[in-house]
C-alpha cells in the first residue's frame, strides 16, 4: 500500500485513487476484513474494478496467504458451471473417469469470488443458496459433505432488487449474499482520480512497451476530465494503452486520445428546467439523436414516477405513441 504526501492514499492493494469516494471504499474494505467469513456483495457498473475490490478484501485479510479462486457466472453454461463449482466424483457422468475437485474445494481457507452473480441461472441459484445455508456441499455424484471454510464474495453490475421483483433472482439468495454490500463508484463520480489513473497507466504502459513518453498536454488533460467514461476504469486503461502504442510523440495530445470512437454512447444527462429551458450535457464526441430521445423519454418517466399516461402528457404525445417509443428504445418501464 502506497501513501502520498499529506497521507492521501494513492495505491491501496492495487486500487488507485485519493478521491473522497475511494477513501470511503478503502474504509469499507478495512471494516470487512476483520471477519474472515462474512459474505460480501460488490455492486458497480461494468469496468469499475469489482474484481480488484474482491482481491483487495482478500489481500487485506487473514486469508491473504490462502487461495483466491474466482468464477465468472456468464462464462460457462449451467451444466459446466455446476461441475466447475462443486467438482465431481469418478463415474458421476459418462466422461468423469476420475474424481475432480471443484473451485469451491480449491478455495478452502481462502476466498471464493463469484463474478456476475446476477447472470447465474435460477436453478443453480437454489443450489448455491443451500451451500451457503448449510456451509457444506457435495461433489456432483458424491454422498460426502465437504465443509465450506472460506469467505464468499459476489459481484454484479445488474440491479438485483429489480431482478428479484421480476422473478429472475432468488430473494432469499439476495439477502444471503447481501450481508455486507460495497458499492464501487463509476469513474464519472470520482473525477479527482481521472488524471491520477491516466498518468499511472501511461507510465506503466510506457515502461512495458519501451516507449519514451513525458505525459499529457493540457488540452489532453481537459479532454480526459470532461469525457464521461461510460466504460469506466477499464475504458480509461485500454485507451491509455492504445495511445502509448500508437502515439509518435513524447507528449500525448488531444487528438491522440480519440475518445468515444467505436463506443456506443448512452445515458448522458438531460436536464429539463422550467417550461422552455432544456440543458443537454454533450460529451466531446456528441450524442446520437436516438440516444437523446431515449434520455428524454426516461426523464419523463422518472418525473412521472413511472406513470406512462402522465409521462406522455408531459411530452405532449398520446399514450399509444409514448408506448411505441418506449418499445422502440427498449425501455423497460
Query: 77 phi and psi, to 5 degrees?
Result: -65, 160
Model confidence at 289: pLDDT above 80: no
CATH topology of domain 270-328: Arc Repressor Mutant, subunit A (1.10.10)
Architecture label for domain 188-257: Orthogonal Bundle (1.10)
pLDDT (0 to 100) of residue 284: 55
pLDDT band for position 206 (50/70/90)? very high
Residue with cell 476420475: 98
CATH code of 2-185, in short, is 3.40.50.300
Q: Where exactly are the structural domains of the chain?
A: 2-185, 188-257, 270-328
pLDDT single digits (tens) 1-58 = 433 333 344 678 889 999 999 999 999 999 998 887 899 999 999 999 999 999 999 9
Percentage above 90 pLDDT, the chain: 48
Higher pLDDT, 263 or 200: 200
pLDDT single digits (tens) 294-325 = 878 888 888 888 888 888 888 888 888 888 88
pLDDT single digits (tens) 221-272 = 999 998 999 899 999 999 999 999 998 899 999 989 887 654 444 445 555 5
Burial 129-164 (b: 16+ CB within 10 A, else e): bebbeeeebbbbbbeeebebebbbbbbbbeebeebb
Cβ neighbours of residue 328 under 8 Å, at least 6 residues apart? Answer: none
Model confidence at 175: pLDDT above 80: yes
Looking at 34-179, list the stretches that DSSP marks H as alpha helix, in order from N- to C-terminal side: 50-59, 78-86, 103-106, 122-134, 160-165, 171-177
pTM for the model: 0.74
Cell triple for 9: 492514499
Q: What's the CA gap between 85 and 134, in Å, rounded?
A: 16
Amino acid at each position: 500500500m502506497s501513501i502520498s504526501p499529506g497521507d492521501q492514499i494513492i495505491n491501496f492493494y492495487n486500487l488507485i485513487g485519493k478521491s473522497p469516494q475511494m477513501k470511503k471504499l478503502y474504509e469499507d474494505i478495512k471494516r470487512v476484513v476483520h471477519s474472515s467469513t462474512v459474505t460480501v456483495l460488490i455492486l458497480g457498473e461494468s469496468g469499475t474494478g469489482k474484481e480488484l475490490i474482491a482481491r483487495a478484501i482478500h489481500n487485506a485479510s487473514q486469508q491473504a496467504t490462502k487461495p483466491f479462486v474466482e468464477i465468472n457466472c456468464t462464462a460457462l453454461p449451467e451444466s459446466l458451471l455446476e461441475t466447475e463449482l462443486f467438482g465431481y466424483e469418478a463415474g458421476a457422468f459418462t466422461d468423469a473417469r476420475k474424481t475432480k475437485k471443484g473451485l469451491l474445494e480449491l478455495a478452502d481457507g481462502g476466498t471464493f469470488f463469484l463474478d456476475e452473480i446476477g447472470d447465474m441461472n435460477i436453478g443453480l441459484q437454489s443450489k448455491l443458496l443451500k451451500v451457503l445455508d448449510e456451509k457444506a456441499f457435495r461433489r456432483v455424484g458424491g454422498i460426502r459433505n465437504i465443509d465450506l471454510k472460506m469467505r464468499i464474495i459476489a459481484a454484479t453490475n445488474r440491479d438485483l432488487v429489480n431482478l428479484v421483483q421480476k422473478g429472475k433472482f432468488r430473494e432469499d439468495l439476495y439477502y444471503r449474499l447481501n450481508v455486507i454490500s460495497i458499492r464501487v463508484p463509476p469513474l464519472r463520480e470520482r473525477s479527482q482520480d481521472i488524471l491520477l489513473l491516466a498518468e499511472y497507466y501511461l507510465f506503466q504502459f510506457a515502461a512495458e512497451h519501451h516507449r519514451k513518453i513525458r505525459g499529457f498536454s493540457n488540452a489532453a488533460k481537459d479532454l480526459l476530465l470532461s469525457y464521461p467514461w461510460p466504460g469506466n476504469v477499464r475504458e480509461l486503461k485500454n485507451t491509455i494503452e492504445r495511445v502509448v502504442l500508437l502515439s509518435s510523440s513524447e507528449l500525448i495530445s488531444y487528438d491522440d486520445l480519440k475518445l468515444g470512437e467505436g463506443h456506443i454512447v448512452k445515458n448522458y444527462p438531460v436536464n429539463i428546467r422550467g417550461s422552455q429551458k432544456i440543458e443537454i450535457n454533450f460529451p466531446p464526441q456528441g450524442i446520437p439523436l436516438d440516444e437523446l430521445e431515449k434520455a428524454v423519454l426516461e426523464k419523463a418517466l422518472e418525473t412521472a414516477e413511472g406513470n406512462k399516461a402522465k409521462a406522455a402528457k408531459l411530452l405532449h404525445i398520446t399514450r399509444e405513441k409514448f408506448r411505441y417509443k418506449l418499445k422502440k428504445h427498449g425501455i423497460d418501464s
